[in-house]
Chain A
């Protein structure tokens, strides 16, 4: 029983991480039809700058952790908004060029991060409580999982409230459904594009800082490794669906944990099989719109 609890809560923690990356990917695709392969770079830069911030303030304190999260969110938002404004905006409806530009940006930034911080992982420290465990029904759960879950829930609630109760949120929800009609109502939908990129980048930035605590290190490859699973989550949940991304994040991460433990480390294989099954049965994903 304790093993099941441990795998479940660890899976939820990993799922929280996937959601923080996938939420932005899903919103960006849903509104703009852009598959953003540079999304992992937002995460990685935010993780590095968050780490540098925590180091400067003293890595053991809660203040430095929250400062790192703030810096990560701002870094992700600015990097993402800048990418949209400078590179993507000229390429709407040009999908091949979008892929080339975002893949190119991802490769270039990883090389840049290699140059600045080196190729080896930088091991990090945080508040002592994060390194400790809490016992639940006999299972000793690493405390950083609880932080991940709490922050992901806060981000999910924040994005939902933003989408439901703000003018920009209304424009984004309408734009996901019918972008050209939003324009035909006199709304400059490009501003919504930038805002969505910034929100997605901020979520990824927070995810980057938390990922460094989950894995215990930050490296130039951090974003790329998470991006693969975030894309799988986004497709399974349904491109453009925030609830879909949230549910699929949990399902994928929990499946991964259980398969790794009970089926001889086949977690990644099981996730790919799940993706195949979902695409066969529901090609638009669990919550995606049928086209």
Chain B
């Protein structure tokens, strides 16, 4: 692993392990998310990236240390972790299809939803569709709703899991721009298969292989080392969209 990131991290994970049923899905994850930045979790398919996010949130049984702003949260139930200021944008959006857009947002509101202005600024199209059932939206619009739910609240960190998955190139650009703007107000731990997006957004990267952290460090250094990118991710650092890590 590379040298640790200086300063007090917003999120610190040490020795995180998790299993689903009796099957281990991550074995030892160590990472830190510094304030004011995007940290990208990278890795091949099945490496344990989504499981890491779920384990941090307590959505799957886990062991190890998880600290949010210096306080242990690994013993808390998921809803208590979220209420401490952890926003979550899940893989595959997981909007409530039978609820309207407005109901999806209302459900996510905590403590007066101070981030409403940011949501209106970033997703005016979604706000105009308040009365529409979320299940009838396009994939890109559903992703906007999913992001909006997390941005409504005053969070300390966002956990964003593959936000560009399955989106058309134009929408990928829009989502990346929204995340770039969001990162100005809240640090983001981002799982991203699209290396172009990861390169654009991330200040730090954490690479996971077979459920273990194998690299952590500044993003520009990582992407500059093409041999290492290809060895760890099986893809060139330019992020060929047809390559393994982009599927």
Contact = CB atoms under 8 A, between A and B. Distances in A.
Interface of A: 170-171, 173-174, 177-178, 180-189
Closest 10 CB pairs of A and B: A186-B82, A186-B83, A181-B94, A183-B78, A174-B96, A184-B88, A185-B108, A188-B79, A183-B79, A177-B96
Contacts of B59: 180, 183-184
Nearest to A176: B98
Contacts of A174: 96, 99, 103, 107
Interface in B85-132: 88, 90, 94, 96-99, 103, 106-108, 110
18 contacts: A170-B103, A173-B99, A174-B99, A174-B103, A178-B94, A182-B107, A183-B78, A184-B57, A184-B59, A184-B78, A184-B82, A184-B88, A184-B90, A185-B79, A185-B82, A186-B108, A187-B107, A188-B79
Contacts of B44: none
Contacts of A189: 79
Contacts of A186: 79, 82-83, 108, 110, 153
Contacts of A177: 96-99
Nearest to B149: A185
A214 B106 CA distance: 43
Nearest to B153: A186
Contacts of A180: 59, 78
Contacts of B79: 183-189
B148 to A, nearest CB: 12
Contacts of B57: 184
Contacts of A173: 96, 98-99, 103
Contacts of B97: 177
A170 B106 contact: yes
Nearest to A164: B103
A49 B59 CA distance: 42
Contacts of B107: 170-171, 174, 182, 185, 187
